[in-house]
Amino acid sequence: MSPTIPFRTPGGRHKEKFPIHVEEEGDGEFPDAANMLATNDAATVDFDSPQDPSRAVNWEPRKKWILIMVLSSMTFITYMLSSHPSISDVQLMKITSALASAMFAPGVPQLMGEFRSKNSVLASLVVSIYILGNAFGPILLAPLSEIYGRSPIYHVTNIFFVIFTMACALSSSLNMLIGFRFLQGTAGSAAIALGGGTVADLFIQEERGKAIALWAMCPLLGPVVGPVVGGFLSAGLGWRWVFWVLAIAASVVMVAYFVFVPETYSVVILQRKTVRLRKQLRNPYLRSKMDSGLSYSVTFRQAIIRPLKMLLFSPIVASLATLSAVVYGYLYLVFTTITNVFETNYGFSPNIVGLTFIGVGLGMMTGVAAFGGLSDRILVRKARANNGELKPEYRLSIMIPCGLCTPVGFFIYGWTAEKHVFWLVPILGTSLIGAGVMAYFIPIQAYLLDAFTIHAASALAANAIWRSIVGALIPLAGLPMYDALGLGWGNSLLGFISIILIPVPMAILVYGERIRKSARFQIE
């Protein structure tokens, strides 16, 4: 049994006793409070019990879901600006219309006219630089969150996101705008880099399915809603108002973070409790049970290289990150080409072509609903059939049947668009693509949370880094591929590659646990 040590508040009243787990030394007798204060015996501070209300996992459901909704709101806002690279060095208007999958992109022609530039490379860079910031941010932010906690990183990056968004609106040159767009993308990556870790903090394994579905949906729906809103906004008020509206929305959510997003990371919560007890008991030798004993500098060095180590040396993380990156790149390839397809083949005007993205969005929402409703049930059912063990691999089983939506969607979208079939049919094809992407994207996020709970932020950061880089590169092949192969065979090629990828989750289902638990691939 661990002894408990009473303490007095400044007012002198006794409060509830905190369990102090004392490291036994010498004859093994536990020192009393007076002796502890007088000696250098070390004591370890732990949570009062598994049901300790200070642990985020024990908070009331209402508090948890409000936090997830606030977190998802900022993720949605930051990814409405999510950018996509240039896909063709043709006329400037063709480039920017193909880039209309970001909220800001529809205003690029106005911007280039205002700054008197016809440089197609800069027109592409001013949009795509944001995603490079998304790739850079998790490298720094995820490790910092495992040292200082989630909430300080959220609050600081939210403030900087608002500042950099306003700076974009006030930019007086193209170079200034490009610089602030990169910083904006870096700050905006916090919600996606740390969000999965927050979900792991709040929910036990068999309850994470719905939470991860809600959180993961927003970064993918943002680029769907972005062009619909951005096209009308930039046409009516100009490109600068795109940034002003986003700055206002981000400011509101930033305030909500201060109200509804307290610290959730158990390591930091327990460390704060330890600091409080040191002052109350006047015992500087108390230490957190989760304290590694390393200095901040050493801890930071280990934390900052952990995502890269996971990506390079963990076959599970590397394979799932690559799979996630490919389907993410597919989605963005559709985003960067759909405008050109419907303007050229169906004569859609620039003002309404953004509405074609709704098909992808509906498909993604369907995929989210399917995962949210089935994932936890599948996990629990498979665990009951296997001696109650909740294996992370069970999260991936939904990928195999639902993953077929992606190739089928590409076949329908490609051939119906090439043959000029009624415009609703290719949009239905993009809906299947959206559903299939979510069938890969969300289970991978959930798996990484279950498999790397204490270092979930680092695992998701590794996934986000690789996903952002590949997601920025794959769409480069969009229009050139369609020009060479046509819409039918071009999209069929993507469909065939999607079929080839299906064995990847099947292999992880069979061999993943063995590889994950292998000492050779343990990442600390």
| C-alpha 423, offset from chain centre | 33
Summarised one tens digit per residue, pLDDT across range 186-215 is: 998 888 788 888 988 999 888 888 888 877
Q: Is 401 exposed, middle or buried (0-12, 13-18, 19+ CB in 10 A)?
A: exposed
HSE (CB half, 13 Å, CA atoms) of 463?
Answer: 33
Summarised one tens digit per residue, pLDDT across range 356-393 is: 878 888 888 888 888 877 888 888 888 888 877 788 88
Q: Which amino acid is at 478?
A: G
Residue 346: CB atoms within 10 Å = 14
pLDDT at residue number 302: 81
Q: Is the pTM of this model over 0.75?
A: no
Cα 253 from Cα 266, distance rounded (Å) = 24
* C-alpha torsion sign, points 205, 207, 209, 212: negative
Rounded to 10 deg, the angle between the 190-202 and 174-188 helix axes is 10
96 and 108 Cβ atoms separated by less than 8 Å: yes
Cα 309 from Cα 461, distance rounded (Å) = 11
User: In this structure, what token pair is assigned to residue 256?
Assistant: 């909500």
Q: Is 318 exposed, middle or buried (0-12, 13-18, 19+ CB in 10 A)?
A: middle
| Residue matched to tokens 């074609």 | 356
HSE (CB half, 13 Å, CA atoms) of 329?
Answer: 25
Residue-by-residue DSSP string for 442-475 = HHHHHHHHHHTSTTHHHHHHHHHHHHHHHHHHGG
Cα 352 from Cα 202, distance rounded (Å) = 41
Per-residue pLDDT of the chain (524 residues; tens, 9 = 90+): 444 443 333 334 434 444 444 333 334 333 444 344 434 445 888 888 888 999 999 999 999 999 998 988 888 787 665 544 333 333 333 333 333 234 555 455 666 666 666 666 666 666 667 877 887 888 888 888 888 899 999 999 999 999 999 998 898 888 888 889 889 889 988 887 888 889 889 998 888 888 888 777 776 666 666 666 665 665 556 678 778 888 998 999 999 999 999 999 998 999 999 999 999 988 888 888 888 777 777 877 887 888 888 888 888 888 888 888 888 888 877 876 787 788 888 888 766 776 787 888 888 888 888 887 788 888 888 888 887 778 888 888 888 888 889 999 999 999 999 999 999 999 999 999 988 888 888 888 888 888 887 777 788 888 888 887 776 677 667 667 878 888 899 899 999 998 988 888 888 888 888 887 775 555 65
| Residue matched to tokens 């908070």 | 59
Q: Which residues contact 208 (CB under 8 A, 6 or more apart)?
A: 199, 200, 376, 446, 449, 450
Q: What is the largest CA-CA distance in the chain?
A: 87
Task: Name which of 331, 340, 360, 430 is nearest 88 in CA terms.
Answer: 340
Architecture of domain 56-266+297-521: Up-down Bundle (1.20)
**Sequence ranges of the domains in the chain:** 1-46, 56-266+297-521
Helix, strand, coil percentages (3-state) for the chain, rounded to 5, are: 75, 5, 25
- List the strands of the sheet with 18-22, edge to edge: 4-5, 18-22, 43-45, 286-288
Residue-by-residue DSSP string for 148-214 = H-HHHHHHHHHHHHHHHHHHHHT--SHHHHHHHHHHHHHHHTHHHHHHHHHHHHHS-GGGHHHHHHH
Q: Which residues contact 270 (CB under 8 A, 6 or more apart)?
A: 45, 46, 47, 288, 289, 290
Q: Work out the angle at residue 47's Cα, subtended by the Cα atoms of residues 278 and 65, and round it to the nearest 5 degrees.
A: 120
Cα 318 from Cα 312, distance rounded (Å) = 7
- For the chain, the C-alpha Rg in angstroms (whole number) is 25
Instruction: Give the pairing type, strands 4-5 and 18-22.
Output: antiparallel
Q: Which residues contact 92 (CB under 8 A, 6 or more apart)?
A: 109, 112, 118, 120, 123
| C-alpha 143, offset from chain centre | 15
91 and 119 Cβ atoms separated by less than 8 Å: no
